[in-house]
Amino acid sequence: MADATRAAPEPLVTVVVPTYRSGDGFRRLLASLATQTLPAERFEVLVIDDGSPTPEAAVIAGLVRDAPNARFHRIEHTGWPSAPRNTGIDLARGRYVIFADHDDELYPESLENAIRTLERTGADVYAGKEARTDQAKWGLDAFDGEYDDATVRPGIHALVPTNPHKLYRTSLLREHGIRFPEGGRRLWEDVSFNVDVARHMNGVSIGSQEPFYHWVREAHTTSSSFGDDLDEWWTGLERIVRHIDTGLAGAEHRRQRDLLQLHQFRERVLPAVGPGLLRRPPEARRLVLDRAAALVDGFLDPRLEAALPRHLRARAFLLRRGRPDLVEELAAYDDGILGVSFARRAVVDTTEAGTSLRLETKTLWTAHHGGFLDLEVDGVHVRRALSPRLAEELGTDLIDVDADLAAATSRIGLRSRETKMTWLVPTRTSVTVAVTPGYPDVTATSVATIDPATLRHGRPMAEGFWDVNARNELFGVINQRAVRAVGRLQPTPPDQALRVYANIHGNLSIEVR
């Protein structure tokens, strides 16, 4: 099938889209690219089809043919996005290249904002605020502000989330031979790619004020099948951990290496030996425990282990001690930790300076899917109420949770129904441990002030409907769920800019008018 090569010369950016038997989601992506505020002649869409059967390939090619700045190129089937993306790097005409999945979408100003930022900062990479259909909390730690160069930001690597939904300087990729690993299914191929980018890049600009990319998650996608084969999952994870260790070797890359390794252990390795472990059959449990222990022993530096949340440090400690039996026992205590928030009071205040909302909430933490947290008060200290042998093995440092309780937070977030984007609101929180017969109650009272004029890191909220959620963190476990509307809500005058109400699910929502 012949390539269509009608794209304008010297585009600023190339959008590389791997396709395979793509359906309606591909139409959604093309529609979002057709509405970009960046003029069509300033960017190209490069669709690389991974050997779809001829009828489907013809449909995809026909859709591409209708776009004035798009090209279609078909390769032999490989079964994974790596080869199509690499072909895109080779064929790209743009100064920058971004990799978009075939069923996702960009927002209207995405490319224009990204190009404007990169031309101003000179950075090699641009990462814009991303939404994920199924997770209100997605990327909030990463997109916490505007950064001309996020490589100097503490606590989180500038390329996290390590997906390829970013703009990369094309010359950087070509000069250093940076490509996605090929050869069948390669889980976390995008992490490997970004490790190589990290080694050579000069600056990462982050934009958090405006929506950039919507990662559409439907019932079943390629990435949603990651956990279907346990051995494949752990082999892929070990490959990534090793690649971080070798690809970012040397003192000059130590900070980047530490941040990316810490991310793997905090988000993947150690959560895998948590409560979900108990829902696996015995043979699968043994595989998970053995593979996790090998990674902890081989790659988790004690410096990094000390930076983990206490409940993950306890798992790593037991793995190092060769006590998989106690790892399983501990997993039962960690099961179902959840913070649920309730709106106690919501007051809209209108002055000459504008309209704001003061929201008061109460959060209650439970475990075991609605039961009590396993805690006990020992004099002035709060400790985990574990079995004697587990408590003895872990020691006081790993069961004393005073510091964890002091660090617990409940932060209010607002999620736009239109864009699926969530922004966090400045929130003051006070945590209380009530000593009651049996088990102590852990609650938080919070006050958030919502200023519609500055919500998006200094930019205003858009008109429309916003759902209120709470990002509750205790013991390093983060839940982000809707705030229940059980408190007193003032009636909203018809001419008021903000309407606060309980939606059909009994949760708190806001209408900006």
Q: Helix, strand, coil: what percent of the chain each, to 5?
A: 35, 30, 35
pLDDT band at 227 (very low <50, low <70, confident <90, very high): low
Tens digit of pLDDT for each residue in 112-147?
999 999 999 999 999 999 999 999 999 999 999 999
Task: Answer whether the bond into residue 161 is a cis peptide, omega within 30°.
Answer: yes
Amino acid making up residue 478 = I
pLDDT band at 225 (very low <50, low <70, confident <90, very high): low
According to the model, what pLDDT value does residue 2 have? 43
Q: What is the mean pLDDT of residues 215-230?
A: 71
According to the model, what pLDDT value does residue 222 have? 55
According to the model, what pLDDT value does residue 4 have? 46
The angle, 0 to 180 degrees and rounded to 10, between the axes of the packed helices 254-264 and 230-247 is: 170
Give percent of the chain above pLDDT 70.
96
Tens digit of pLDDT for each residue in 422-454?
999 999 999 999 877 667 899 999 999 999 999
Is pLDDT larger for residue 438 or for residue 482?
A: 482
Tell the residue number behind the tokens 């004393």, with chain if given: 400
According to the model, what pLDDT value does residue 494 have? 75
Closest CA to 266 of 30, 502, 118, 475: 475
| E-strand stretches of 8-93 | 13-19, 43-49, 70-74
pLDDT band at 3 (very low <50, low <70, confident <90, very high): low
Residue 42: strand, helix, or coil: helix
Is the pLDDT score of 496 beyond 70? yes
According to the model, what pLDDT value does residue 1 have? 47
Query: And the tokens for 495?
Result: 């001419």
What class has domain 4-222?
alpha beta
Task: Work out the mean pLDDT of the chain and round it to a whole number.
Answer: 94
Is the pLDDT score of 488 beyond 80? no
Per DSSP, 438 falls in state: S
Domain chopping of the chain, boundaries: 4-222, 229-333, 338-512
Tens digit of pLDDT for each residue in 364-390?
999 987 888 999 988 789 999 999 999
Tens digit of pLDDT for each residue in 382-415?
999 999 999 999 999 999 999 999 999 999 999 9
Tens digit of pLDDT for each residue in 273-329?
999 999 999 999 999 999 999 999 999 999 999 999 999 999 999 999 999 999 999
Q: What is the mean pLDDT of residues 83-101?
A: 99
Alpha-helical runs (H) found in 46-183: 54-65, 82-91, 110-121, 170-175
Is pLDDT larger for residue 418 or for residue 491?
A: 418
Backbone angles phi, psi at 271, to 5 degrees: -60, -25
Tens digit of pLDDT for each residue in 162-186?
999 999 999 999 999 999 999 989 9
According to the model, what pLDDT value does residue 84 have? 99
**Cα–Cα distance measured from residue 477 to residue 305, given in angstroms and rounded to the nearest whole number:** 16
**Cα–Cα distance measured from residue 82 to residue 189, given in angstroms and rounded to the nearest whole number:** 7
Amino acid making up residue 413 = G
